[in-house]
Chain A
Amino acid sequence: MTTMSDSHRSARTLYLIWAVLVVGATGWAINRGGVFAPEKVTGVPKSVRNNPGSYRSVYVGGRIIRGK
């Protein structure tokens, strides 16, 4: 038999879990300085420093659109 106090206890436990998740996720996001990052490009050749035009950014041409 589920009593009112049982369901209250379950609701409080669920809220406690929810609050821990919210506080934890917020702390995690603040600590890393954000959540969503642009895709990391790998294998960028060292020659880019000497020849910047050899690198092709995803933001080439036309008006620039933020994000990828």
Chain B
Amino acid sequence: MTSAPLVRALTCPSCGGAIESHLGAWSTTVVCARCGSTLDARSDPLQILIAADQAAMRTPSIPLGSRGVFEGDAYEAVGWQERQIVVDAEVYRWREFVLFNPYLGFRYLSEYDGHWNFIRPIEGTLPTAETDGVSYAGSTFRHFQNAGATTIRVLGEFPWEVRRDDVVSTSDYVAPPVMLSSEDEDDGTTWSIGAYLEPDEIVTAFDGVALELPPRHGVFANQPSPWASLSRRLWMMGLEAGVVLLLLCGALLFMRQNTQVFRSTYQFVHPTNAPAGDEQAFVTPLFALTGRGNVRLSLRATVDNAWLGAGVTLIDADRGTAFDTGLEVGRYSGVDAGESWSEGSYDATFRIPAVPAGNYYLRIAPEGAASAEYTVSVKRDTPVAWYLLPAILALLVPPLMASIASGSFEHRRWMESDHPPVSSSDEDDDDE
């Protein structure tokens, strides 16, 4: 292939229509665009191989004769064929364009449901078989599908003897965005390698050509997942954010004062045992809160099958402000039908965030089911570590969603293959 062939003007012996041959000596079969007759391009004058079949004619989405640029080289679309496979009584059809560059030879452009592949034949080192696929050029390709492909429509020129109803056995192997395909023919197996192209890339390649590209549906065998790389990137970002979260919050937790500023033990006397008119509410001595942060109020009482509570008010002696809260403990136990049981707790705590520094005291109003001793304590600026848990979960949500989307994409891809994902429900069905 050292020189560009000349365009040869031919006449269809069936309908008399003009035919332009762009392949010259490489042309083996030419199909008349006017009547659909398949002609032997090597004969002179042209001989009819297959009579005209208007019903089988279609208009390719890329006009034959159009020039497109792929991988930096210009190719002319010279031939078009539609092929089909039948799987479980379901017919799948795709289209293939023959592209020709007089210096580089033949390439192919395939289209299925709006998914495009730029395909070149593999010469030299061929793929080698692996356990569940083949390896080629350092990559492993997983087996996707075997099928018997039947040519159902042809148009234009071909460098081989193309006929409708030709059947070849095909096998596809994928490593998105690349796909290897083999076709078993009488004279051996031919391999080709395809690279997935976005529809926009077809439009760019055939810049200025009026195209009628079909809309894209579903997920194709070697379509690159839009989620895989995003999922990986989000997991990396999530890991980085998690490290920052742990370092920052670890430092903040480490910096807490966590000091006890008040602790005292009191005796609660149940009203039935208390002198008449005895005031149960009382106040504590003043204690100072320094710095910033929360205040943790605690109540501890060793009660037995009873409860004890206290209305606790933290009062700022200087500003006249207060926070009201309540603490309650209750501990119950017993034996029921020979089984011992217990419930409740001797301790109760309540945390008030962002309490300003100052002099404070507590007003305590105890109540209870029985007289009991209890202890009230106050801690300043205690660490609250549990916020890390929802924070970590919040950081995980976007990467998890991307992973789920990626998994769904792969599921849809492999549902079209000879190796569809098996769900647990399918396995259950098989067991029945």
Contact = CB atoms under 8 A, between A and B. Distances in A.
A14 B398 CA distance: 10
A53 B249 contact: no
A53 B391 contact: no
Q: On chain B, which size bracket covers the interface?
A: 35 or more
A45 to B, nearest CB: 7
A52 to B, nearest CB: 4
B87 interface: no
B353 A34 contact: yes
B214 to A, nearest CB: 19
A44 B245 contact: no
B354 A32 contact: yes
A16 B234 CA distance: 9
A15 to B, nearest CB: 5
Interface string B195-231: 0000010000000000000000000000000100110
B387 interface: yes
Contacts of B72: none
B395 interface: yes
Contacts of B353: 29, 32-37
Interface stretch (B25-33, B136-144, B183-191, B312-320): B312-320
Contact of A66 (B230, B293, B326, B402): B326
Contact of A57 (B233, B355, B363, B394): B363
A11 B391 contact: no
A52 B351 CA distance: 23
B384 A30 contact: yes
A22 B398 CA distance: 12
Contacts of B295: 33
Contacts of B310: 64
A44 B320 contact: yes
B237 A59 contact: no
Interface string B112-141: 000000000000000000000000000000
A65 to B, nearest CB: 7
Interface in A11-68: 11-12, 14-16, 18-19, 22-23, 25-27, 29-46, 48-49, 52-53, 55, 57-60, 63-68
Nearest to B350: A66
Interface stretch (B75-83, B102-110, B278-286): B278-286
Given A30-B384, A33-B353, A57 B391 contact: no
Given A33-B293, A34-B354, A58 B324 contact: yes
A45 B283 CA distance: 13
Interface of A: 1, 3-4, 7-8, 11-12, 14-16, 18-19, 22-23, 25-27, 29-46, 48-49, 52-53, 55, 57-60, 63-68
Given A38-B323, A44-B322, 18 more contacts: A7-B226, A8-B229, A18-B395, A18-B398, A23-B245, A27-B248, A27-B249, A29-B384, A33-B353, A33-B384, A37-B352, A41-B323, A46-B320, A52-B281, A58-B324, A63-B307, A64-B309, A67-B325
29 contacts: A4-B226, A11-B230, A18-B398, A19-B237, A26-B249, A26-B388, A30-B249, A30-B252, A31-B252, A31-B293, A32-B353, A32-B354, A33-B293, A33-B355, A33-B381, A37-B352, A37-B354, A40-B322, A41-B323, A44-B322, A52-B283, A52-B363, A55-B281, A57-B311, A57-B324, A63-B367, A64-B310, A64-B326, A65-B326
The 4 A-B pairs at the shortest CB distance, nearest first, are namely A33-B294, A34-B353, A59-B311, A64-B326
